[in-house]
């Protein structure tokens, strides 16, 4: 799983895929967002923490032998052997024979540099939807496997179930049907969940697992770094966050299945009023507003906020979700660049 901001930017690019050639960049369009809108704060803040901790991630993470062994067994890959704990990346490719001309998919991987381990069945894009387990069974099995993979259940919270559509059946016939159902258990720090760019937990620390026909494990993925408290920070005030919105230092999240993200940004630029109705803190493995480069994992987990808002255009209204800084030091850093 990639870090949260990489997942978010990927979602934005996908959302914009139907835009004309060479569409304007997010930065260009965001410079006009809510410029002439009155911003009203109605979100309760009484349940937010009085202080926020920034955490340092201790990377690479060397997974214990028992965790690696349990993961190999969950993937039914015992015949491939059991790798030893190491700081080196490890992969088990799909077996296609010695003369296979194409790239080989990875069935199992360990990436200590980002505290990541994952598995997927061969030909993940195909499968049967026969007798997929109930959500209750899926959740029970997820909570059973989590401690076997070295995760602390006391630091996990059940988030969303998700559905996987396959583009072909087990016979290779083109179709579009439900072939998997999964759940994401998010890691929590100080009672605050990690942010994910989508329902299956991509980009956030925690555990995601998907089941298919007759309860087969189709996929699992976990990210779980060893962490320690690094620095305590004062929360940003509503007025601080409003200043960030006005200075175009927040990110508008794509809507599910959005066809034209850039067109929506253009429309939002004409909003007459923006009312913030809810604020939810999250953790992410990045510094807000900065995209990791060269695929180097961020060594800090920092808090930020998701804002739920309503944009008022005068004759219509639309829901909006934004990502915003939530600690004073991040607000000051971002506004100093304005």
Cross-strand partners of 300:
56
State both tokens at 81: 């052997």
Kindly provide the residue ranges of all beta strands, DSSP E only, lying in 125-261, ordered along the sequence: 156-168, 174-189, 192-193, 206-211, 217-223, 226-233, 251-252
Q: Are 114 and 205 in contact (CB under 8 A)?
A: no
How do residues 80-93 score in pLDDT, each as one tens digit? 999 999 999 999 99
For 317-338, give the DSSP string.
EEEEEEEEE-BHHHHHHHHHT-
How do residues 205-256 score in pLDDT, each as one tens digit? 999 999 999 999 999 999 999 999 999 999 999 999 999 999 988 989 888 7
What band does 29 get if pLDDT is binned at 50, 70 and 90?
low
Among 95-104, 169-178, 191-200, name the most confident range: 191-200
Bridge-based pairing of strands 300-312 and 273-284 is antiparallel
What band does 126 get if pLDDT is binned at 50, 70 and 90?
confident
State both tokens at 326: 């939530």
Exposed e or buried b for every residue in 258-297, given b needs 16+ CB within 10 A? bebbbbbbeebbebebbbbeebebbbbbbbbbeebeeeeb
Structure confidence at residue 79 (pLDDT): 94
> 28 phi and psi, to 5 degrees?
-65, -45
Question: What gap in Å lies between CA 223 and CA 115, rounded to an integer?
Answer: 5
Please choose, from the candidates 48, 55, 57, the residue with its C-alpha nearest in 3D space to the C-alpha of residue 326.
Answer: 48
Bridge-based pairing of strands 226-233 and 52-58 is antiparallel
How do residues 270-308 score in pLDDT, each as one tens digit? 999 999 999 999 998 877 766 666 667 888 999 999 999
Domain limits of the chain? 19-56+231-336, 61-95+104-224
What band does 185 get if pLDDT is binned at 50, 70 and 90?
very high
Please choose, from the candidates 303, 263, 268, the residue with its C-alpha nearest in 3D space to the C-alpha of residue 50.
Answer: 303
Q: Which residue has the higher pLDDT, 274 or 172?
A: 274
Share of the chain above pLDDT 70, in %: 87
Is 50 a residue whose pLDDT tops 60?
Answer: yes
Question: What gap in Å lies between CA 156 and CA 196, rounded to an integer?
Answer: 14
CATH number attached to the domain at 61-95+104-224? 3.30.310
Question: What gap in Å lies between CA 135 and CA 182, rounded to an integer?
Answer: 8
Residue-level length of the chain = 338
Q: Which residue has the higher pLDDT, 19 or 199?
A: 199
């Amino acid at each position: 799983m990639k870090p949260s901001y990489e997942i978010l930017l990927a979602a934005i690019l996908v959302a914009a895929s139907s835009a004309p050639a060479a569409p304007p960049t997010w930065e260009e369009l965001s410079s006009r967002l809510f410029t002439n809108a009155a911003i009203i704060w109605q979100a309760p803040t009484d349940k937010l923490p009085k202080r926020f901790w920034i955490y340092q991630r201790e990377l690479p993470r060397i997974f214990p032998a028992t965790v690696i062994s349990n993961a190999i067994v969950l993937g039914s890959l015992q015949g491939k052997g059991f790798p030893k704990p190491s700081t080196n990346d490890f992969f088990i490719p799909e077996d296609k024979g010695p003369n296979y001309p194409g790239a080989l998919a990875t069935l199992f991987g360990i990436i200590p540099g980002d505290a990541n381990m994952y598995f997927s069945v061969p030909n993940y894009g195909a499968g049967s939807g026969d007798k997929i387990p109930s959500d209750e069974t899926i959740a029970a099995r997820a909570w059973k496997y989590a401690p076997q993979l070295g995760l602390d259940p006391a630091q996990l919270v059940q988030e969303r179930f998700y559905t996987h559509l396959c583009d072909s059946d087990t016979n290779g016939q083109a179709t579009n049907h439900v072939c998997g159902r999964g759940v994401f258990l998010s890691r929590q720090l100080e009672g605050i969940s990690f942010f994910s760019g989508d329902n299956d937990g991509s980009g956030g620390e925690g555990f995601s697992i998907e089941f298919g026909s007759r309860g087969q494990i189709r996929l699992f993925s976990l990210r779980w770094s060893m962490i320690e408290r690094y620095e305590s920070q004062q929360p940003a005030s509503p007025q601080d966050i409003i200043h960030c919105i006005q200075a175009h230092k927040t990110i508008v999240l794509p809507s599910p299945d959005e066809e034209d993200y850039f067109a929506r940004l253009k429309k939002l630029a004409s909003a007459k009023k923006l009312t913030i109705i809810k604020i939810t803190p999250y953790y992410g493995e990045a510094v807000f507003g900065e995209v990791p480069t060269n695929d180097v994992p961020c060594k800090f987990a920092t808090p930020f906020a998701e804002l739920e808002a309503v944009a008022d255009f005068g004759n219509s209204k639309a829901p909006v979700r934004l990502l915003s800084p939530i600690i004073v030091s991040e607000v000051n850093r971002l506004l100093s660049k304005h």
